[in-house]
Amino acid sequence: MIRPRIGTTACVILCLTVALVRAQDDPTRIIMFSPTTEGNTYWPQVYAILRDAADDLGVELLVHEFDVTDRFAREEEALAILQSTTDIDGAIFSVAVGQAPPLVAEAERRGFPVMINGPLHDRDVRALGGGPRTRFSQWVGYFYQDEEEKGYRLGQILLHAARDDRTEDSGAPIAVAGIGGDHTWSGSALRANGLRRAVSDDGNARLIQIVPTQWTEREGTTTAARLLARYPEIEVLWAASDQLAIGAGSAIASRPGEAATRHGVVTGGLDMSPRGLRAVRDGDLVATASSTLFTFAEALVYLYDYIHGHDFADNVGSTIETSIEVATRETATMYIELYDRHAGIDFRRFSKAFDPDLDRYDFSPAAYRRALHASMPSE
């Protein structure tokens, strides 16, 4: 009974090794476009995980970031970079309003597959034919989070926390304000709609306003300070990203003594970034909600498999909604430890190109933890 198991394990290891050598001799070249902001807490860790996944798969990953402050300049720059980059095998685009159609059209012209991270604006979806593999055959996959649900779940948690923080229940509605994201990305409006729904469903809360920003921590601080000065009754400051929430936390901590003793103010963000998770663990934020930072590594595996003859759509479809996680003070450490140990994950274990016998894709946090355990040397 032992010999077949050892032989099977040896065969799997040998197959993975041979496939990796072959991939490194002729690496798959994938280009990625994403937005960025000053002091971003999200994308640097996404890139770190992505590069580990790319190394495991034998992928040459070309990452290009675009500042969110000038929409039209980034549209022109992105297309120019794509047109001037040769020998592309595939692309992953996380783009703002208006960018996706010309980039997908260029990929279609040149014949390489594209994964798009949503949500896309309705206008862009229509321009692209309504979904993957319709008007553009090279748009092979669309992965997204339910941004409204994220905003809603964070809003619910903050409202509950604010109510629990009250020293006495006056019965007065909880005053809520939001620090929103950049309006040129359609997900910002969806996140804000989630907050509106949470306030409406609560039944005893009122939304004062949602102020748009360009995602920087500095704006989180200054916007929160202005809101708290103008509306001292605020008990909830909802933030559309972790770095905005961290900035808001600084403003909350800096309130004058009289305002600080009147009542507490709670805040939280959306991203599940390492810095946001640490702030939740330390009690500075109530929660952070998002799909995990492994989402883009998941998309990279799908794209790699598609390029190498294993169509992920046969298993998960071409439109993929990633699961939303919510980290509170009780669970934040678990996610921090998973992120801290991502280099120990062998992403070939998740790929059908490396393991054709893989039954179904599984990119859950539990699956990543199992992969970490499998990667550890046996005693």
Dump pLDDT digits (tens) for 96-111: 767 899 999 999 999 9
- Taking a C-beta distance cutoff of 8 angstroms, is the pair 182, 213 a contact? yes
Q: What gap in Å lies between CA 203 and CA 174, rounded to an integer? A: 10
Strands 288-290, 325-327: pairing is antiparallel
**pLDDT tens digits for 3-14?**
333 333 333 333
Question: What's the pLDDT score for residue 19?
Answer: 43
Q: What gap in Å lies between CA 116 and CA 105, rounded to an integer? A: 13
Fold designation for 2-145+292-323+343-375 = Rossmann fold (3.40.50)
Question: What's the pLDDT score for residue 376?
Answer: 53
User: Model's pTM, two decimal places?
Assistant: 0.87
Question: What's the pLDDT score for residue 257?
Answer: 64
Angle separating helix axes 365-375 and 332-340, nearest 10 degrees: 50
Fold designation for 147-290 = Rossmann fold (3.40.50)
Regions of the chain with pLDDT less than 50: 1-24, 261, 378-379
Question: What's the pLDDT score for residue 37?
Answer: 75
Question: What's the pLDDT score for residue 183?
Answer: 86
Question: What's the pLDDT score for residue 67?
Answer: 77
Evaluate whether 2-145+292-323+343-375 and 147-290 have a shared fold.
Answer: yes
Give the residue extent of every domain in the chain.
2-145+292-323+343-375, 147-290
